Amino acid sequence: MDPKELTAQDILKLEEEIKYFYQRRKTFLGFAFLCFGLGILFFVIGVMVGVSTNQGFMSIFTTLSAFGFTGFIVLLILRGSLYNRRIRNRKLLIKGAKEYREVIKTFNDHE
């Protein structure tokens, strides 16, 4: 999409998309911290169960803990790769369109 061809409605639509992507990015961050918290919770439960009883339950909770920590890392990576580029591209389009409009307005004012 060329910034010169953007209308005011297109710019508003792009700004709405940016807000939507920021919300989705925050959602991914929330789920990432949820996974991290669950990982810590399962680790603590696993240690407590392992100390008080046999080692069989401890391996289950440490596996769940590992899944939680892995989910945390994966969601943080996905958050960046899915939304940062989209947000940056739309911001650059809006910036280019506004600069183009200012240049055109400046030339029209001098004539």
In whole angstroms, what is the distance from residue 21 CA to residue 27 CA? 10
Residue-wise pLDDT for 38-86, tens only, equals: 999 999 988 888 777 766 667 788 899 999 999 999 999 999 999 999 9
**Residue that the structure tokens 């240690």 belong to:** 47
Q: What is the 3-state secondary structure (H, E, C) of 9-35?
A: HHHHHHHHHHHHHHHHHHHHHHHHHHH
Mean pLDDT of the chain: 88
Single pTM value for the model: 0.77
Tell me how far CA of residue 34 lies from CA of 59, 65, 73, 101, in angstroms: 21, 12, 12, 44
Three-state SS for 90? helix
What does the block give as tokens for 21?
């992507």
